[in-house]
Amino acid sequence: MEAVAKLKNYPTSPRRMRLLADEIRGLGVENALALLEHHPQHSSTPLYKLLKSAIANWEQKNEGKSAADASLVVKTIFVDGARSIKRMLPAPQGRAYRVRKRSNHVTLIVDAKN
């Protein structure tokens, strides 16, 4: 029985978040938590919390079992683009440059290893 956790509108570019999501895809939950806890990248903190939330969702779905006994795996994780805030940056000779402040949605699915 799989469990899902979603993170919406996190203000980091999707490309930057995908780099970290690719590292934990397919890993066991304990290994993924250890990697995210000590990773220097800024977006590792919300992914760590999202993974903890997915584990809690799985435990709630499967009432009698604990996550430590079931050997959970990060089955699927994907990052989609979300809203982009447009800002203007002053440029020389009265011009302006457009700055797009991107954000993303992350969906994480954990499941017991077969």
Phi/psi region, residue 113 (left: phi>0; alpha: psi -120 to 50; beta: rest), is beta
pLDDT band at 11 (very low <50, low <70, confident <90, very high): very high
Tell me the pLDDT of the chain averaged across its residues. Answer: 93
Give the model confidence (pLDDT) of 53-78 as tens digits: 999 999 999 887 887 777 899 999 99
In this structure, how many other beta carbons lie within 10 angstroms of the beta carbon of residue 68? 11
Residue 48 neighbours by CB under 8 Å, 6+ apart = 33, 36, 37
In CATH terms, is domain 3-112 a member of 3.90.470.10?
Answer: yes
Q: What does the domain layout of the chain look like in residue ranges?
A: 3-112
